Amino acid sequence: QSALTQPPSASGSPGQSVTISCTGTSSDVGAYNYVSWYQQNPGEAPKLMIYEVTKRPSGVPDRFSGSKSGNTASLTVSGLQAEDEADYYCSSYAGASVVFGGGTKLTVL
């Protein structure tokens, strides 16, 4: 039950695109298409942004997209906006458990 690996920080200017990686193993990210991404602002609960690798819940802007290759999943935020500045966490199903990434702080410059 080791945490997934995310970069601690990422940044981009308004309008740019930024991609956050999430690296696991062949027992979690690589084994299942159950990767999800969450946005969390300080003092708030996480918000689901992507589930099943690529799917967006209703209400999430299509600027947010997800993908996966092998043991690494990615979240891409296109057309960065100031409101996108937050912490982002990935998670993956891992059989009888769920594992989260350590989180990435996204800064909009």
Partner 1 sequence: EVQLVESGGGLVQPGGSLRLSCAASGFTFSSYWMYWVRQTPGKGLVWVSRIKYDGTITHYADSVKGRFTISRDNAENTLYLQMNSLRDEDTAVYFCTRDGRGLGFDIWGQGTMVTVSS
Kindly state whether residue 107 participates in binding partner 1, applying the rule CB under 8 A.
no
| Number of alpha carbons in the 13 Å side-chain half-sphere of residue 88 | 31
Residue from the set 5, 30, 72, 93 that interacts with partner 1 by CB under 8 A: 93
Asked if residue 107 lies in contact with residue 8, where contact means CB atoms within 8 angstroms, the answer is no
Pick one of 46, 75, 84, 108: the residue that binds partner 1 (CB under 8 A). Answer: 46
Give CA–CA dist 25/11, Å, rounded: 26
Give 34 or 72: the residue with its C-beta nearer to partner 1. Answer: 34
**Least distance to partner 1 from the beta carbon of 46, Å?**
6
Partners of 67 in the beta sheet? 74
Q: Under the criterion CB under 8 A, does residue 64 sit at the interface with partner 1? A: no
State yes or no: residue 3 binds partner 1 (CB under 8 A): yes
Distance CA 9, CA 56 (A): 23
By the rule CB under 8 A, 62 interacts with partner 1: no
Largest CA distance in the chain: 40
In the region spanning residues 15 to 44, those forming contacts with partner 1, defined by CB under 8 A, are 34, 36, 38, 40
